[in-house]
Chain A
Amino acid sequence: MAVKVVYDSTRGLVQENDATGVGGFQIKDVSLTEGSDTFDAVIQGGVGAAAALPATGVSLVTIGAGNDADKKFCKLANGTVVGQQKTIIVLANNGQAVNLTVRNAADGADLIADGAALNLGDVAVLVWSGASWLVVNQTT
């Protein structure tokens, strides 16, 4: 016997016995959304001193703050748990048609380089391997 947790939009969270013994956590008819934070990208020279994007949830990044096309850099904090996922969305660009560069907070290496063309409206999903972030999906 196992306990299965089901969420549906009418009953909310329900725990029920699962006679198959498999268990599971099932979300029936709504989207699963993590919390989000906002961040203004900075110039290349400002990455080191800037706060890192948190390693959890969804970061909504604005590039080109103040109509400065050089403000297109950010860094991502290390993950803590293998398999942890991180979503980055380029929310706005202040009219600056530039790409977001995402760097590893630990060593400054590019996780998503300019050539990956992560720009306005794009979404990137990364997974923490235990040692580094890996980009598993990215829209362009």
Chain B
Amino acid sequence: MVQVIYTKDQGLKQQGGAGSFSIESGVPLAGQIKDTVTSNTVAVIDFAGIKQAEGAAGALEFDLDSKVIKLRSAGGAKFYIYFRVTDTGDTGDPGLEGTGVAFSKASGDIDSEAKLVDALVTLIDNTAALNAEFEAANDGNDHLKITALRMGNSGTIVTDISDFVGLVDTNNANAVVNATVTFTHGVGSHLLSTGGISQASGALNAAGDSFVVISDLTEGDHHGARKIVHRPANGQTFILKNSGGSTLHTFDAAGEVAHLAWNGTAWKLLFGS
């Protein structure tokens, strides 16, 4: 039979003997740190003072009925939030690509920038489809802060706010008002590789539902393959999910490790600290 031996002096060597593959004592057998995932992508929408007019439009007041904000997750899911101002046009679903979420408010509920932002925060955080991908907050300056729950660089998570750009303020010498969006990106991809060692840390979402995803291996193959996910540093709690969205392990402290095994159809948690 063929025996393979690794020694640090000679490297790999094949020789006759009992079939085996052995590594010299004192030499580490290791995977490589394949993925490093840090933080989350954050988008901040500054509405530049835009708010709903209640009655005659004042400065920076507009009829926001039928306006749309579009979002996209790093997993590819598309969403649009469509404004229905119930005492003006109350326009219905525009039927755009993705999941439509109605933002249905009376004029008086969104007649200040603070009210507008806070109401959008409530909508995003209380709508299951949106809250599965994003967390929203008022950043303290009445800007809408949207954090992608998928860790790492999620790209352009707010894809379109053009309905809030180029608004002509007839009460302010026809000044053009533009909302803006700025992004701060995490590092790496939420989608972990199936080989090597993955490290993730620095999750931003205080609610602890930031997440990374381990991809499937080929079904019916790779039985017994292992995967290690490590949280090397601090940050908020985050979740390791499988491709179906189920939780494999919750990382609630720095230094934790999850050791997974592929059973031919799914990743199973062998150990989670």
Q: A-side interface residues toward B, CB under 8 Å?
A: 2-5, 9, 13, 15, 18, 21-34, 36, 57-58, 60, 81, 87, 89-91, 121-123, 125, 137-139
Interface string of B20-44 (1 = CB under 8 A from A): 1011100111111010000000000
Chain B residues whose CB sits within 8 angstroms of the CB of A23 once the complex forms: 7-8, 24, 27
Of all chain A residues, the one with the shortest Cβ separation from B33 is A28
Chain A residues whose CB sits within 8 angstroms of the CB of B20 once the complex forms: 81
Report the 5 A-B pairs with minimum CB-CB distance, sorted nearest first: A23-B8, A3-B11, A31-B225, A58-B224, A2-B8
Tell whether, in the assembled complex, residue A32 and residue B270 are in contact, meaning their CB atoms are under 8 Å apart. no
Tell whether, in the assembled complex, residue A89 and residue B263 are in contact, meaning their CB atoms are under 8 Å apart. yes
Tell whether, in the assembled complex, residue A31 and residue B264 are in contact, meaning their CB atoms are under 8 Å apart. no
Tell whether, in the assembled complex, residue A33 and residue B224 are in contact, meaning their CB atoms are under 8 Å apart. yes
Of all chain B residues, the one with the shortest Cβ separation from A9 is B195
Tell whether, in the assembled complex, residue B223 and residue A125 are in contact, meaning their CB atoms are under 8 Å apart. no
20 A-B interface contacts by CB (under 8 A): A2-B8, A3-B7, A3-B9, A15-B12, A22-B8, A24-B29, A24-B30, A26-B32, A27-B31, A30-B196, A31-B225, A32-B225, A33-B223, A36-B223, A36-B224, A58-B223, A89-B261, A90-B263, A122-B268, A139-B263
Inter-chain CA distance A30–B195, complex, in Å, is: 4
Tell me whether B243 is interfacial, beta carbon within 8 Å: no
Point out the residue from A4, A29, A34, A121 that lies within 8 Å of B266, measured CB to CB.
Answer: A121
Interface residue count for B (Cβ, 8 Å)?
Answer: 40
Tell me whether B6 is interfacial, beta carbon within 8 Å: yes
Chain B residues whose CB sits within 8 angstroms of the CB of A138 once the complex forms: 270
Given contacts A3-B10, A5-B11, A22-B8, contact A28 B268 (CB under 8 A): no
Tell whether, in the assembled complex, residue A29 and residue B8 are in contact, meaning their CB atoms are under 8 Å apart. no
Chain A residues whose CB sits within 8 angstroms of the CB of B27 once the complex forms: 22-25
Chain B residues whose CB sits within 8 angstroms of the CB of A4 once the complex forms: 8, 11
Given contacts A13-B12, A25-B6, contact A32 B265 (CB under 8 A): no
Chain B residues whose CB sits within 8 angstroms of the CB of A32 once the complex forms: 31, 195, 225-226
Of all chain B residues, the one with the shortest Cβ separation from A86 is B224
Give 15 new A-B contacts, CB below 8 A, not counting A5-B11, A18-B8, A34-B224.
Answer: A2-B9, A5-B6, A23-B7, A24-B27, A25-B29, A31-B222, A58-B224, A87-B224, A89-B223, A89-B224, A91-B223, A91-B263, A121-B265, A123-B224, A139-B261
Tell me whether B227 is interfacial, beta carbon within 8 Å: yes
